[in-house]
Structure 1
Amino acid sequence: MGSGVVALLTLSLLLLIATHQAHSAIGVNWGTLSYHKMRPSTVVDLLKANKITKVKLFDSNPDALRALMGTGIQVMISIPNDLLSTFNPDLFVQQNLSRFMGKGGADIRYVAVGNEPFLTSYGGVYQNYVVPAMVNLQQSLVKANLASYVKLVVPCNADAYESNVPSQGTFRPDLMQIMTELASFLNSNGSPFVVNIYPFLSLYQNSDFPQDFAFFEGSSHPVLDGPNVYYNAFDGNFDTLVSALAKIGFGQMPIVIGEIGWPTDGAVGANLTAARVFNQGLINHLLSNKGTPLRPGSPPMDVYLFGLLDEGAKSTLPGNFERHWGIFSFDGQAKYRLNLGNKGGLKNAENVQYLPSRWCVAHPEKDMAQVADEHLRLACSQADCTTLNDGGSCSQLGEKDNISYVFNSYYQLQMQNEKSCDFDGLGMVTFLDPSVGDCRFLVGVTDKDLSSSSAEIMARWDIYHIWIGLVGVWALTRCYILY
């Protein structure tokens, strides 16, 4: 073979590698904290219809993994923080990896060891368990002959690092040693550094944060950092992490964005228009391969949008917006136009198993002055009423429609049990959709293919996540504000 041909082939190979490295893959987070769960098979069909090839789970639910088998969708499963000190690594690998993988199985690529375990609000409770858990789990992967395929990661909150400008980024002093150990482990085993970045929370928590800096359309308040200029919070936050990694000797480590997105309801600034502009701007920015000032032409290797579906059972302690991060509503219906880079808009879920088309509303012939506060408190303590709050899509309803919304939310949660629409004679069932404008009165879905044992497992996960939401002021430390 001539030297010219060899050179040409070498150049072609280098170009192919460079192209592969430069493109970010867009995945999604599939959270299940919902009172109205679609069947896992329906959700997986939704992923396939939208050509979503990567999905991140917050647990290792067997029903979800079974539904993902044979699809070719790459999966990240997770170990909750409170199990890091007690889980059996050999048993975990056997039950959650080995039995689902193999020919025609689930394509599990990552195991997330904890989720944001270094949050300031956790007060270091989980901090000392992370690296030992990873070491033990890595040994179990080796024994199961999975270590070359399944990689261990730790999704970190962006509050793990800090600086005034990106080039001065450094990990928090209390995390310096453990981050050095973590990065060394990740580097030795070919794993990326996973970080969650939320420009929305920067805007939500800080009234002085320039709104245009949270998006990708340029900013009148750019951050100047020597020769580099930052026009959006994402690039600045990302490069702050790059600098922090460089200071501990791992400046070239690949980075994955574990969570990023924009909510559509439940707070001022959380709406369909802003969510579409942010997410589409993010996707276009990533697919342009422009990268960031400190990593030009090298965007993050994977980005997982948060999230796939709305989760009406999440804690509202951080804010009512917590239940509205989905690019799809709880029943798999696209909320807005979004091109994920696959040359097409979002496609809705099909074959969703809805309850009958009926709603519970305030009785038109009854005096709603008789509605007691306990009626509303009971309903909203169990159902999701967050869209009624300031900034919500249903915040402009009149008094009677407001009451109807609360009644219906509770009625659907109770699987349309007739007695759940009584409210001491003040409620009635209607077959006419009472939705008003952008305010949607939902009809629940039913999940008939969950086994009883799996349903119990999912219920336990839900309780765990709701409890976690009540520990500390999570949202106040979930995002590092760069400005």
Structure 2
Amino acid sequence: MLTNLGPTNLWTVRQTKLSTENGFPPPFLPSFPRRSLPKIAFKIWLQRQAINKTELLPDQSNGIAHSRLPPTTPSASSPPHHGSPVGPPLHLLRLRHPLRRRRRRRLLPVGVNWGSQTSHPLNPGIVVRLLNDNGISKVKLFDADSWTLSALRHTGMDVMVGIPNDQLYAMSSKYDNAKNWVRENVTRYVHDGSLAIRYVAVGNEPFLTSYNSSFLGTTLPSLKNIQRALEESGLGDRIKAVVPLNADVYDSASGVPSGGLFRSNIRDLMADVVDFLRSKNSPFMVNIYPFLSLHDNKHFPVDFAFFDGTGQPIVDGGRRYTNVFDANFDTLVYALKKIGAGDMEIVVGEVGWPTEGADNANVASAERFYRGFLKKMAGNEGTPMRPGKMEVYLFGLIDEDMKSVLPGNFERHWGLFTYDGRPKLEMDLTGTGKSRGLTAAKGVEYQDSQWCVMRPGVNDMSTFAGNIDYACSMADCTPLAYGGSCNGLGDVKANASYAFNIYFQTQDQDVRACDFQGLAMITTRNASRKGCLFPVQIVSAGERGAVAGLMAAVIAAAVSLLMMGL
């Protein structure tokens, strides 16, 4: 999170946002009750069987397990739907590449982060079409999932793949691990020119103070090994290894950007990282979150988090700063300058604004932020120290209902799109004011139009708390909390209905998931109310893949039996 030293040090952004995007174990994710394990384990097994049996979805063979689930989250900013599919049905085994048939819309001045900490992933082919329909030509991933990378082939999009933090030890301890990773996750996709991988992100914010130095000893060796493997594969000139870093790696004691220095406990390490990156012509990648500056400091002036404010600017040596993004960025420029790297290229790996989960986390504020930020990017304004074009990736594409809420409930609501790919915001991604707005995902398939709600006539409240707690330990109830879109439901029975339904949907509408000791019932009447969406969950990519894989296996077995009979 961003912490500021006080009202006179408003630009300082010691960002300690907990990141779970790259496999670091989220400390306070609820543990799964024992009785839910068989269902979850079976779903994972089915998904893996489908992937292994489908040529389109090659399994990785590097021996290093993926640590995260793929993309979705219920967002109450989207209107109630009734579970009907949108567009023609898609077939898992033969997804059509949208760019082969459709003209790409105007390319944007920004890329986007495609996270995957969601309980029900959208099919990667659907997400790729969503990216294309919205003119997005650069995408940043947090892993190197084979299904996702296969879907991105032949699209012409610039791709950044990622190595999760929990794999840094393996990458640093043995060069062969890094070599194998590059072969399985980079070379196999780019050798024929079908996928344009531009960066390999080594870890994600590995120097966060919240990680208690867990990755200080493994990040730089991993970076060196991955870059070496890229070079030995003949890819070093066009694919660069980078380290996305949190803005808490630098600070200023003077209260102005020109005082920027790297954090004292990692100053020597940062100098070594920067020296290596510069020697390979690789950029410095940083994540900047103006929202967290505002969220974490009650004295922070609201206007300074946006780009249209009229408050008192910060003046530093003749340079005027009217927003915290510019001040933050230039603090890094000064920190680099002081170690002899003042001309180093900087890429903003993450920047965005959540739509619920806290004060100022709402649709109106998000639209205000993006309106100013995207206009700035389209105009190539840069910052006082670095005027001109910037390379930036918005965070994020789709809400993620499996993210840790340790930093705040807003962590699950950074998406430009809802869990099912519908726009949450009225915004112009081009920043020119000429765009028609965001385009929704096509081909999304929903589960049945049914909801799990509180049974009428139940008055015994003795088991309410325990059942609501259980539901919310297994599903995303953040919209019910303060700052959430469903916080105003007004009574405990309505809150219980929301909790019961979100658990029911997360469990794929299993009838056994709508009981709660007799408190709940299934209804076909839309339970959404008072601006609060009671979602119907999508048919996830994993489920569809499992069904397709099992059907293929059954058909193959039947054909074999028929042939044997003949």
TM-score grouping bracket, smaller chain normalisation: 0.7 to 0.9
2:318 is the counterpart of 1:230: no
Q: What residue is the counterpart of 2:127 in the other structure?
A: 43
Q: What residue is the counterpart of 2:346 in the other structure?
A: 255
CA distance in 1, matches of 2:148, 2:362: 29
Q: What residue is the counterpart of 1:53 in the other structure?
A: 137
Q: What residue is the counterpart of 1:395 in the other structure?
A: 487
CA distance in 2, matches of 1:34, 1:82: 19
Deviations 1:315-357, CA, capped at 9 Å, x for gaps: 1111111000001011111001111107331000011121111
Deviations 1:142-163, CA, capped at 9 Å, x for gaps: 1111111111111010010111
Per-residue deviation, 1:233: 0.4
Q: What residue is the counterpart of 1:305 in the other structure?
A: 394
Distance 1:368 1:291, change over 3 A: farther
Per-residue deviation, 1:24: 8.1
The unaligned stretches of length 5 or more in structure 2 are 1-106, 172-176, 550-566
More helix by share: 1
Identity across the alignment (%): 48
CA distance in 1, matches of 2:227, 2:344: 19
- Letter aligned with residue 539 of structure 2: T
2:530 is the counterpart of 1:441: no
Aligned residues: 429
Contact 2:472/2:499, CA 8 A, preserved across alignment? yes
Q: What residue is the counterpart of 1:172 in the other structure?
A: 263
CA distance in 1, matches of 2:393, 2:468: 37
Q: What residue is the counterpart of 1:221 in the other structure?
A: 312
Q: What residue is the counterpart of 2:286 in the other structure?
A: 195
Q: What residue is the counterpart of 2:440 in the other structure?
A: 348
Per-residue deviation, 1:217: 0.5
- Letter aligned with residue 410 of structure 2: F
Contact 1:24/1:299, CA 8 A, preserved across alignment? no
Per-residue deviation, 1:226: 2.1
2:422 is the counterpart of 1:333: yes
Q: Which secondary structure state, in structure 1, belongs to the residue aligned with residue 347 of structure 2?
A: strand
Please give the residue correspondences for 1:369-448 in structure 2 after superposition, counting only pairs within 5 Å.
Answer: 369-399=461-491, 400-448=493-541
CA distance in 2, matches of 1:183, 1:147: 17
Per-residue deviation, 1:285: 1.2
Which one is further off, 195-204 or 370-379? 370-379
2:188 is the counterpart of 1:99: yes
Deviations 1:97-135, CA, capped at 9 Å, x for gaps: 011113352211100011111111222221122221121
CA distance in 2, matches of 1:448, 1:212: 41
Out of 45, 60, 71, the residue aligned to residue 155 of structure 2 is 71
Deviations 1:257-301, CA, capped at 9 Å, x for gaps: 1011111111121111111111221111111122211112x242x
Which one is further off, 262-271 or 217-226? 217-226
Contact 1:219/1:232, CA 8 A, preserved across alignment? no
- Letter aligned with residue 81 of structure 1: N
2:122 is the counterpart of 1:31: no
Deviations 1:403-429, CA, capped at 9 Å, x for gaps: 111110010011001121112222121
Contact 1:354/1:445, CA 8 A, preserved across alignment? yes
Q: Which secondary structure state, in structure 2, belongs to the residue aligned with residue 369 of structure 1?
A: coil
Out of 105, 114, 117, the residue aligned to residue 206 of structure 2 is 117
Contact 2:199/2:241, CA 8 A, preserved across alignment? yes
CA distance in 1, matches of 2:193, 2:465: 54
Which one is further off, 160-169 or 81-90? 81-90
Q: What residue is the counterpart of 2:409 in the other structure?
A: 320
CA distance in 1, matches of 2:394, 2:541: 28
Contact 1:409/1:442, CA 8 A, preserved across alignment? yes
Per-residue deviation, 1:370: 4.9
2:380 is the counterpart of 1:277: no
Deviations 1:387-444, CA, capped at 9 Å, x for gaps: 1111110000022221111110010011001121112222121222121243111111
Contact 2:357/2:482, CA 8 A, preserved across alignment? yes
Contact 1:38/1:353, CA 8 A, preserved across alignment? no
Q: Which secondary structure state, in structure 2, belongs to the residue aligned with residue 186 of structure 1?
A: helix
CA distance in 1, matches of 2:225, 2:193: 28
Deviations 1:33-58, CA, capped at 9 Å, x for gaps: 11121111111111111110111111
Deviations 1:143-196, CA, capped at 9 Å, x for gaps: 111111111111010010111211111111222222222112222212111000
CA distance in 2, matches of 1:264, 1:84: 32
TM-score, length of structure 2 as denominator length: 0.73
CA distance in 2, matches of 1:369, 1:135: 59
CA distance in 2, matches of 1:273, 1:215: 12
| Pairwise CA RMSD | 1.7
CA distance in 2, matches of 1:44, 1:273: 27
Q: Which secondary structure state, in structure 2, belongs to the residue aligned with residue 116 of structure 1?
A: coil
